[in-house]
Copies of this chain bind each other. A is one copy, B any other.
Amino acid sequence: METVNLAEKFSKFQDYCKPRLIGEVNDFHVKAVKLKGEFLWHHHETEDELFLVVKGTLRMKFRDREAIVREGEFVIVPHGIEHLPVADEEVHIVLFEPGTTLNTGNISNERTVSYLERI
């Protein structure tokens, strides 16, 4: 029941593509992540994902189009849909998604974050 300041949370880490846990709402997680460059094509078998941009611009690529998401905007990616998050410049994103969600979805590689640090 403490107030969480988003800018303060984002000041606590500088690396990219590694989400941190900043809140839990029942079995859902609220995460903070910084992104710069291309992430990787992936999908989530069962989990929808909400990407809320709090700084910068996110380009969410789908196989047939892309969504531009600016500060104060969000996009929801339904489960099963392949997507590639791209940030031409650093972007700060708040994620809302089921607690079971892995950052790389159906792909398991060196970018997969299996331990979620709480900050």
A1 in contact with B74 given A30-B50, A96-B96, A98-B26 (CB within 8 Å):
no
CB-nearest residue of chain B relative to A65? Answer: B1
Give the size of the chain A interface in residues (CB under 8 angstroms): 37
For residue A56, CB closer than 8 A to chain B, the reply is no
A 48-75 contacts with B by CB, 8 A: 48-50, 54, 60, 62, 67-70, 72-75
Q: Which of B30, B67, B97 contacts A1 (CB under 8 A)?
A: B67
Interface residues of chain A: helix, strand, loop or mixed (majority): strand
B-contacting residues of A (Cβ < 8 Å)? Answer: 1-7, 23-26, 28, 30, 46-50, 54, 60, 62, 67-70, 72-79, 81, 96-98
